[in-house]
Amino acid sequence: MPHRKVIRSWVIPISQRSTSIALWLSAIDYCLFGLGLAAIVWMPWMIGKILLGMATGFVIGRLFILGHDACHQSFTPNRKLNTWLGRILFMPSLTPYSLWAIGHNVVHHGYTNLKGFDFVWQPRTIEEFRALPRWRQRLERIYRSGWAPGLYYMVDMWWKRMYFPSKKQMPTRRAEFMWDGVLVSLAAAAWIAGLAWAAQATGQSFWGLFITGFAIPILFWKAMIGFVVYVHHTHTSVAWYQDKLTWAAAQPFVSTTVHLTFGRRWGALLHHIMEHTAHHVDMSVPLYRLKQVQKKLETMLPGRIVIQKFSWRWYFDTAHRCKLYDFNRLCWTDFRGRPTSKPLPMPDMPAAATTASQA
């Protein structure tokens, strides 16, 4: 495997950032978000309102993906513009910008699939699972069922770690953490107040509009992001590690991500976020260049990148297999500790690292 700096040098010529493209994409998706809410208000049939609420939740996901790029400073060439665009684009998903930056940019990207550091869908061992209280074991079974990625994201990631997190979850206390929480709370209050005004102006039930115009979009968005972060790093060919030296030797910026392929149109609808290996190799690649960069990497690194064609059959088979993890054998197990995937080979350790480990 070439050094990461060498790999990055391959993609620099096709990774230019553009302010005009970024602003155009932001304007389009915010217009779609506004049109979605307006359509929910004016739609006379409840089933139509529900479907429009789900579509609006999908648009929230698109806005979040744009904000995610801004948070990585890869959306435009201007750092200050990226920061403010990120906060604005994150508001419909109620995502506090600064806390997402810490948990995602620093922790997840810095230590992808390293146990004890990367908390995103981190698997437990059989011993850890058995030591959990009965209620927490049940919750873990629900999370890993394949049916509740949104519940996992809403509870274990958003509520615990991003929305006014406790000192236990976020020992570092910064003023911007609190103010970003206040910002998204005000955004939610304004959103709900707007629906209340629309309900009164059109003679509709407030609760009907609240459910279809706020709750359903938010819940759909949570399910969408929970699903996305799950499939990005959970695969029978992707390893988790508990030893930092072994993890580093595995070149985790390539080996711990999945390129999930869909039909042609879905890639653009998701702003190419599924070209995930390219994103982990170089976070500065803007989303509107990811498709080209991913293609370049797969050409230059044949057989090194995990490429998976999406199907619901594959997804639920993965959820069925990937319950707990055996970090010694590098394989997934069920909730009884029985292996459900083929053990992966241990990465070759550099001589200096091996000596240091033995010492």
* pLDDT given at position 350: 60
* pLDDT given at position 267: 78
Mean pLDDT of all residues belonging to the chain: 90
Q: pTM of the prediction?
A: 0.91
Where does the pLDDT of residue 296 fall: very low under 50, low under 70, confident under 90, or very high at 90 and above? confident
* pLDDT given at position 5: 79
| Residues 132-158, mean pLDDT to the nearest whole number | 95
d(CA 267, CA 277): 14
Each residue's pLDDT tens digit, 101-139: 988 888 898 899 999 999 899 999 999 999 999 999 999
Q: Is the pLDDT of residue 356 over 60?
A: no
Where does the pLDDT of residue 359 fall: very low under 50, low under 70, confident under 90, or very high at 90 and above? very low
* pLDDT given at position 42: 95
Residue with tokens 């005004």: 197
* Token code pair at residue 283: 């976070």
* pLDDT given at position 298: 84
3-state secondary structure the chain: CCCHHHHHHHHHHHCCCCHHHHHHHHHHHHHHHHHHHHHHHHCCCHHHHHHHHHHHHHHHHHHHHHHHHHHCCCCCCCHHHHHHHHHHHHHHHCCCHHHHHHHHHHHHHHCCCECCCCCCCCCCCHHHHHCCCHHHHHHHHHHCCCCCHHHHHHHHHHHHHCCCCCCCCCCCCCHHHHHHHHHHHHHHHHHHHHHHHHHHHHCCCHHHHHHHHHHHHHHHHHHHHHHHHHHHHCCCCCCCECCHHHHHHCCHHHHCCEEEECCHHHHHHCCCCCCHHHHHHCCCCCHHHHHHHHHHHHHHCCCCCEEEECCHHHHHHHHHHCCEEECCCCEEECCCCCECCCCCCCCCCCHHHHHHHHC
Contact (Cβ atoms closer than 8 angstroms) between residue 97 and residue 131: no
* pLDDT given at position 113: 92
- Percent of the chain residues topping a pLDDT of 70: 97
Q: Is the pLDDT of residue 8 over 90?
A: no
d(CA 347, CA 186): 48
Contact (Cβ atoms closer than 8 angstroms) between residue 327 and residue 54: no
| Residues 294-322, mean pLDDT to the nearest whole number | 90
Instruction: Provide the residue ranges of all domains of the chain, joining segments of one domain with +.
Output: 4-352
Each residue's pLDDT tens digit, 63-80: 999 999 999 999 999 999
Q: How many CA atoms lie within 13 A of 17 on its CB side?
A: 20
| Residues 25-44, mean pLDDT to the nearest whole number | 96
Contact (Cβ atoms closer than 8 angstroms) between residue 308 and residue 260: yes
Where does the pLDDT of residue 349 fall: very low under 50, low under 70, confident under 90, or very high at 90 and above? low
* pLDDT given at position 352: 42
* pLDDT given at position 353: 44
The backbone torsions φ and ψ at residue 306, rounded to the nearest 5 degrees and listed phi first, read -80, 115
Q: Is the pLDDT of residue 285 over 60?
A: yes
- Percent of the chain residues topping a pLDDT of 90: 65
With vertex at residue 297, the alpha carbon angle to CA 293 and CA 300, rounded to the nearest 5 degrees, is: 135
Each residue's pLDDT tens digit, 231-264: 998 999 999 999 888 898 887 778 888 999 987 7
Q: Is the pLDDT of residue 213 over 60?
A: yes
Radius of gyration of the chain (CA): 21
* pLDDT given at position 345: 87
* Token code pair at residue 114: 């390293």
d(CA 172, CA 117): 15
